[in-house]
Amino acid sequence: MSEILLFHHAQGLTPGLLAFADDLRQAGHIVHTPDLYYGQTFDTLDAGIAYAKQLGFSDIAERGVRAADDLPNDLVYAGFSLGVSPAQQLAQTRPGARGALFFHACFPVAEFGTSWPEDVPVQVHAMEGDPFFEEDAAAARALMDKAPQGQLFLYSGGQHLFADRSLGSYDPTATSVLQQRVLDFLRST
């Protein structure tokens, strides 16, 4: 069993993201899903990104980092797209991380001012043709070079946020494979 801190994407803490967390709970894991948007959700990615800009990306990331304050250190940090920022920062900088799961995004390791911890396994999941992931693909590949226990999984298609079943971009086939890989990862951490 793992304890996971899962951060939402730019459309907020959607029913699909909560369902993803519930699937992990049903597999026996503890999952925390902080709401970095104070209850706001958005029907479109553009509206969610506009709200994130209004709040400030750095403020959202800082809220995410603070969400870990009252939790144990030995967490798996996970994030969907925008939520990868606080998840990656915590995985790289907070001692005791058990693992990291990045969905639909990845940031350059240098962005968080430290190297990737060699003992922290990481998985990155995205679609090959996702236009949002195009700019992150190089960072994901570089992370695989730095993380001895790193795995990059690219799925066929071009959808962003394909693992959120409440969105039109949801791909059940790719999500099924992703979920199995995540459960295997969690069993090994």
- Cα–Cα distance measured from residue 92 to residue 34, given in angstroms and rounded to the nearest whole number: 19
Q: What pLDDT, on the 0 to 100 scale, is given for residue 113? A: 87
Tokens of 104: 């639909």
Domains in the chain: ranges and CATH: 3-188 (3.40.50.1820)
Displacement of CA 148 from its chain's centroid (Å): 19
Find out whether 109 and 133 touch, Cβ atoms under 8 Å. Answer: no
Model confidence at 114: pLDDT above 90: no
Find out whether 149 and 123 touch, Cβ atoms under 8 Å. Answer: no
Q: What pLDDT, on the 0 to 100 scale, is given for residue 153? A: 98
Tokens of 180: 């199995």
Residue 105: partners with Cβ closer than 8 Å, 6 or more residues away = 79, 80, 81, 82, 84, 85, 126, 132, 133, 136
Residue type at position 72:
P
Find out whether 117 and 173 touch, Cβ atoms under 8 Å. Answer: no
Q: Please report which helix (H) or strand (E) contains residue 133, including its range.
A: helix 131-134
Find out whether 133 and 127 touch, Cβ atoms under 8 Å. Answer: yes
Q: Give the pLDDT confidence of 21-70 residue by residue, as tens digits.
A: 999 999 999 999 999 999 999 999 999 999 999 999 999 999 999 999 99
Mean pLDDT value across the chain: 97
Q: What is the pTM of this model?
A: 0.97
